Each structure stands twice: as structure tokens, then as C-alpha cells.
């Protein structure tokens, strides 16, 4: 059996997985950073770590494998017209991982603050659970973190929207909400938040106290300013001079880990 085949198959007995996707080198490095931090926080041994990816530099794929990530090259899906999101629907291929009983998918442009083992074990009576997209008019759920039971039936339901997505810039989150909104179970509010919660020293968003957010949230998604590979921390301090110190701390943690995994 070829090495690629071995790496793409679940380990014997492992029916759980943490899943990420990467459509270019920046997001592939983000997967490395997220997984490295997650390993430091603690990750259950009976779960695989899987990266779905489009063609990448071979050295990046090798770094993933050395970190214990099971890499899986996938075909692109019809893209949307907005350049930055042109491959966003590749994310929905997580629905096809039927060799796993359940998976926890997380966007890689985020940072874990604590182990995600408990989230992977949360009760799941339906096909999909997700955090509410609290920054939008409700009801709405984010696709940046999904707990689900993969099936080809779910994939078929999602795929039927791809034509509309490519014509009208309909993104992965739009498809998840349109197709599965009546079935999605809401994950606890402490599972996920945007780093905009820390963008001001005295925010008035999901958490009144940034320290509360930091102490309770499992995953922080980088939305404010941009992505952490875009600006060094010193420049972010200039762009957001009034942010809470934790805003810079999380940003700097990501960049330090990036330097470690690429060394």
C-alpha cells in the first residue's frame, strides 16, 4: 500500500476525526498551527486528524504528515466568483468522510484556546450541530465549526446548491443554513467566537468582559483586521491601538507557533 493511501485511511478502530481544509499554502500553514496548538492543549488518541486539501507544495504536505495529520487530496468543486472565497465549497467535502461516525470540522484561520475533545463528544441527535452566527440576524449558524455525522446523503443535499453558488456567490455558510437550517442543533455559545470580541478594550458584543471570553471560549476565529499571517503583531497594534491586550496575545501566539512549525 502506498504511503498516501495509508495516510488517507482512518486508523484501525478510529471512528472519530478532527477535520480541516486547505486550498492554498497560507491555509495549509494555518492547519499546521491549529493542530500544533491543539496537540499542546491535549487531543484524544482515538480520533484522527484529517486535512482535506487541493494541490499544495509537497514540503507543506510532508510537514502535515510529520505532525500526525492524515492528508487527503480532493478535487475542487465549482467555485464562486469572489476570488478570496473561490474554493470555499471544498469545505463541504467533510460531509463525504463516511469512514468516520462523527467529525468535528474547524476552519483553520482560527486558534484553539482549550482542548476540543469535549465538543467532539457532545450529544448529536441530528446530522449537524454548529454554533450560532451570533453576529447575524437569527436564526443563523456559522460553518466555521461543524459537528456532524458524515453521509453521502448529506453531501448530495449540499451539492445540489453548487450551481447557484457559482452563479450568485452563494457561499458554504449560505448552503449550510439554507439546506440544513431546520435540522441544525445549536452548540453552546462558549464553543466559538470571533476575535472581534477582543477588538476593543471594553466591547459590547457576545461577552461584556474580554477576560470572560478568554476563559470560556474554545475556538477564536480571526476576523478583525485580517488573518494572522497578513500582519506582524506590531503592525496590528498600530491598526487596533485600543484593542484588549488579549487581542494581541492571541495574534502573537499564532505567529510564534507558525514560526515553530515552519522551522
pLDDT reading at 42 higher than 90: yes
Q: How confident is the model at residue 85 (pLDDT cuts 50, 70, 90)?
A: confident
pLDDT reading at 76 higher than 60: yes
Shared domain for 80 and 135, answered yes or no, is: yes
Mean pLDDT throughout 234-260? 96
Shared domain for 114 and 134, answered yes or no, is: yes
Shared domain for 42 and 134, answered yes or no, is: yes
Q: What's the rounded Cα separation, in Å, for the pair 252 and 4?
A: 34
Shared domain for 156 and 210, answered yes or no, is: no
Shared domain for 50 and 174, answered yes or no, is: yes
Asked if residues 95 and 52 have their Cβ atoms less than 8 Å apart, the reply is no
Shared domain for 206 and 126, answered yes or no, is: no
Shared domain for 30 and 129, answered yes or no, is: yes
For residue 16, report the phi and psi dihedrals to the nearest 5 degrees.
-125, 150
Shared domain for 95 and 161, answered yes or no, is: yes
For residue range 162-212, what is the model confidence (pLDDT) as tens digits?
Answer: 988 877 778 999 999 999 999 999 999 999 999 988 887 665 566 777 777
What pairs with residue 147 in β-bridges? Answer: 104, 129
Looking at 186, 202, 221, the residue that finishes a domain is: 186
Looking at 134, 166, 186, the residue that finishes a domain is: 186
Looking at 186, 208, 237, the residue that finishes a domain is: 186
As a three-state string, the secondary structure of the chain is CCHHHHHHCCCCCCCEEEEEEECCHHHHHHHHHHHHHHHHHCCCCCEEEEEEECCCCHHHHHHHHHCCCEEEECCCCCCCCCHHHCCHHHHHHHHHCCCCCEEEEECCCEEECCCCHHHHCCCCCCCEEECECCCCCCCCECCCEEEECCCHHHHHHHHCCHHHHHHHCCCHHHHHHHHHCCCCEECCCCCEEEHHHHCCCCCCCCCCCHHHHHHHCCEEECCCCCCCCCCCHHHHHHHCCCCCHHHHHHHHHHHHHHHHHHC
Residues constituting the chain: 263
Shared domain for 207 and 153, answered yes or no, is: no
Shared domain for 102 and 225, answered yes or no, is: no
Shared domain for 181 and 57, answered yes or no, is: yes
Asked if residues 131 and 142 have their Cβ atoms less than 8 Å apart, the reply is yes
Cβ neighbours of residue 133 closer than 8 Å, sequence gap 6 or more: 140, 141, 142, 173
Number of domains in the chain: 2
Q: What's the rounded Cα separation, in Å, for the pair 32 and 40?
A: 12
Q: What's the rounded Cα separation, in Å, for the pair 222 and 227?
A: 6
Instruction: Give the three cell numbers for residue 162.
Output: 453548487
Which pLDDT belongs to residue 3?
39
Q: Give the orientation angle of helix 25-41 with respect to helix 58-66, to 10 degrees.
A: 10
Which pLDDT belongs to residue 205?
64
Q: What's the rounded Cα separation, in Å, for the pair 54 and 76?
A: 7
Q: Residue 66 sits in a domain of what CATH number?
A: 3.90.550.10
Shared domain for 227 and 177, answered yes or no, is: no
Please tell me the least confidently modeled range out of 71-75, 230-234, 242-246, 258-262.
242-246
Mean pLDDT throughout 115-130? 96
Structural domain range at position 34: 3-186
Asked if residues 84 and 46 have their Cβ atoms less than 8 Å apart, the reply is no
Amino acid at each position: 500500500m502506498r504511503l498516501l493511501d495509508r495516510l488517507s485511511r482512518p486508523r484501525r478502530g478510529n471512528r472519530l476525526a478532527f477535520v480541516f481544509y486547505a486550498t492554498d499554502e497560507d491555509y495549509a500553514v494555518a492547519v499546521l498551527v491549529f493542530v500544533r496548538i491543539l496537540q499542546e492543549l491535549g487531543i484524544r488518541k482515538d480520533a484522527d486528524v484529517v486535512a482535506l486539501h487541493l494541490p499544495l507544495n509537497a514540503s507543506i504536505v510532508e510537514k502535515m504528515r510529520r505532525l500526525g495529520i492524515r492528508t487527503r487530496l480532493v478535487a475542487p468543486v465549482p467555485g464562486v466568483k469572489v476570488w478570496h472565497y473561490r474554493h470555499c465549497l471544498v469545505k463541504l467535502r467533510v460531509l463525504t468522510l463516511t469512514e468516520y461516525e462523527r467529525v468535528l470540522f474547524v476552519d483553520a484561520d482560527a486558534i484553539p484556546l482549550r482542548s476540543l475533545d469535549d465538543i467532539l463528544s457532545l450529544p448529536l441527535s441530528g446530522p449537524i450541530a454548529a454554533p450560532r452566527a451570533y453576529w447575524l440576524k437569527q436564526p443563523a449558524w456559522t460553518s466555521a465549526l461543524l459537528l456532524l455525522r458524515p453521509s453521502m446523503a448529506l453531501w448530495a443535499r449540499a451539492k445540489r446548491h453548487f450551481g447557484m453558488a457559482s452563479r450568485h456567490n452563494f457561499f458554504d455558510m449560505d448552503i449550510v443554513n439554507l439546506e440544513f437550517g431546520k435540522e441544525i442543533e445549536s452548540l453552546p455559545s462558549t464553543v466559538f467566537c470571533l476575535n472581534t470580541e477582543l477588538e476593543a478594550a471594553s466591547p459590547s458584543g457576545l461577552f461584556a468582559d474580554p477576560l470572560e471570553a478568554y476563559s470560556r471560549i474554545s475556538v477564536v476565529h480571526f476576523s478583525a483586521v485580517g488573518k494572522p499571517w497578513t500582519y506582524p503583531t506590531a503592525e496590528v497594534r498600530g491598526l487596533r491601538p485600543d484593542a484588549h491586550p488579549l487581542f494581541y496575545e492571541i495574534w502573537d501566539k499564532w505567529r510564534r507557533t507558525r514560526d515553530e512549525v515552519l522551522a
